[in-house]
A and B are shown apart, each in its own frame.
Chain A
Amino acid sequence: MSALSISNLKLDIHGHTVLHDIDLTLDPGKILGVVGESGSGKSMTALSVMQLLPRGSNWSGEIRVGGVSLSGLDEKALCQMRGRDVGMIFQEPMTALNPVHTIGDQVAETVRVHTGVSRREALAVARDMLNRVGLPEDRFPLDRYPHDLSGGQRQRVVIAQAIALRPKLLIADEPTTALDVTTQAQILDLLTGLVREEDMGLMLITHDLAVVAGLADTIAIMKQGEVVEAGPTREIFREMRHPYTRALFSASAHVPDRGRKPEPSAVPVLSVDNVVRDYQQPRRNLFVKRPPFRAVDRVGFEIHHGENVGLVGESGCGKSTLARAILALDALQGGEIRLNGHVVSSAGEGPHPELRARMQVVFQDPYGSFNPRHRVRRLVTEPFHLIKSPPTGKELDRRIDRALTEVGLSFSDADKYIHEFSGGQRQRIAIARALIIEPALIVLDEAVSALDVSIRAQILDLLAELSDRLDLSYLFISHDLSVVRAITDRVLVMKDGRIVEEGETENLFRNPQHPYTQALVAATPSLQAALAAPAE
Chain B
Amino acid sequence: MTAYLLRRFLSLSLSLVAASLVIFLVMEVVPGDPASFMLGINADPGALAALRLQMGLDEPLPLRYITWVAGLLQGDFGVSYTYRVPVSELISERVMISLPLTLYALALSTLIAFPAGIIAAARRNSAADLSVMGATQLGVAIPNFWFAMILVLIFAINLRWFSAGGFPGWDAGFGPALKALTLPAIALALPQASILARVMRSSLIDTLDEDFMRTARAKGLSRSQALWRHALRNALIPVLTIIGLQFSFLLAGGIIIENVFYLPGLGRLVFQAITQRDLIVVRSVVILLVFAVIVVTFLVDLAYAAADPRLRRQRR
For A81, give its contact among B3, B10, B220, B230 (CB under 8 Å).
B220
Looking at B131-139, B209-217, B249-257, the stretch in contact with chain A turns out to be B209-217
**B276 within 8 A of partner (CB):** no
What is the minimal beta-carbon distance from B226 to any residue of chain A, in angstroms?
10
Looking at B166-174, B189-197, B307-315, the stretch in contact with chain A turns out to be B307-315
B309 touches A98 (CB 8 A): no
What is the minimal beta-carbon distance from A167 to any residue of chain B, in angstroms?
10
What is the minimal beta-carbon distance from A383 to any residue of chain B, in angstroms?
35
> CB-defined interface of A132-169 with B at 8 Å, one 1/0 digit per residue?
00000000000001011000000000100110000000
B310 touches A99 (CB 8 A): yes
**B160 within 8 A of partner (CB):** no
Which A residues are CB-close (under 8 A) to B82? Answer: none
Question: Considering only CB atoms, which chain A residue lies closest to B3 in the complex?
Answer: A285
**C-alpha spacing A282/B222, complex, angstroms:** 41
SS class of chain B's interface: helix, strand, loop or mixed?
helix
In chain B, residues 1-24, which have Cβ atoms closer than 8 Å to a Cβ of chain A? 3, 7, 10
What is the minimal beta-carbon distance from A283 to any residue of chain B, in angstroms?
8
**B233 within 8 A of partner (CB):** yes
A87 touches B218 (CB 8 A): yes
Greatest chain B CB density within 10 A among A75, A79, A284 is at A79
Question: Considering only CB atoms, which chain A residue lies closest to B230 in the complex?
Answer: A98
Which B residues are CB-close (under 8 A) to A114? Answer: 220
A145 touches B309 (CB 8 A): yes
**C-alpha spacing A95/B234, complex, angstroms:** 13
Which A residues are CB-close (under 8 A) to B230? Answer: 98, 101
What is the minimal beta-carbon distance from A292 to any residue of chain B, in angstroms?
14
For A80, give its contact among B212, B220, B233, B307 (CB under 8 Å).
B220
Question: Considering only CB atoms, which chain B residue lies closest to A97 in the complex?
Answer: B212
**C-alpha spacing A92/B210, complex, angstroms:** 11
**C-alpha spacing A87/B220, complex, angstroms:** 9
**B92 within 8 A of partner (CB):** no
What is the minimal beta-carbon distance from B5 to any residue of chain A, in angstroms?
12
Which A residues are CB-close (under 8 A) to B217? Answer: 50, 52, 82
What is the minimal beta-carbon distance from A93 to any residue of chain B, in angstroms?
9
For B307, give its contact among A82, A83, A92, A100 (CB under 8 Å).
A100
Which B residues are CB-close (under 8 A) to A92? Answer: 211
For A88, give its contact among B218, B222, B307 (CB under 8 Å).
B218
For B220, give its contact among A83, A96, A100, A148 (CB under 8 Å).
A83
**A90 within 8 A of partner (CB):** yes
A95 touches B218 (CB 8 A): no
What is the minimal beta-carbon distance from B218 to any residue of chain A, in angstroms?
4
Number of interface residues of A (CB under 8 A): 35
B218 touches A83 (CB 8 A): yes
A50 touches B222 (CB 8 A): no
A82 touches B219 (CB 8 A): yes
What is the minimal beta-carbon distance from A154 to any residue of chain B, in angstroms?
11
Which B residues are CB-close (under 8 A) to A95? Answer: 210-212
Which A residues are CB-close (under 8 A) to B225? Answer: 113
**A110 within 8 A of partner (CB):** yes
> CB-defined interface of A484-515 with B at 8 Å, one 1/0 digit per residue?
00000000000000000000000000000000
Known: A99-B310, A100-B308. A83 touches B214 (CB 8 A): no
**A1 within 8 A of partner (CB):** no
**C-alpha spacing A470/B7, complex, angstroms:** 57
**A84 within 8 A of partner (CB):** yes
**B61 within 8 A of partner (CB):** no
What is the minimal beta-carbon distance from B165 to any residue of chain A, in angstroms?
45
**B221 within 8 A of partner (CB):** yes
The 5 tightest CB contacts between A and B, nearest first, are A83-B220, A95-B211, A83-B219, A88-B218, A82-B220
Q: Which B residues are within 8 Å of any A CB, using their own CB?
A: 3, 7, 10, 210-212, 214-222, 225, 229-230, 233-234, 307-310, 313, 315
Known: A79-B220, A110-B219, A162-B219. 20 other contacts (CB 8 A): A50-B218, A52-B217, A52-B218, A75-B222, A81-B220, A82-B219, A87-B218, A98-B216, A99-B212, A100-B233, A100-B308, A109-B219, A113-B225, A145-B309, A147-B310, A147-B313, A162-B218, A282-B315, A286-B7, A286-B10
Can you spell out 11 A-B residue pairs with CB atoms less than 8 angstroms apart? A82-B217, A82-B219, A83-B220, A87-B218, A90-B214, A96-B215, A98-B212, A99-B308, A100-B234, A109-B229, A286-B7
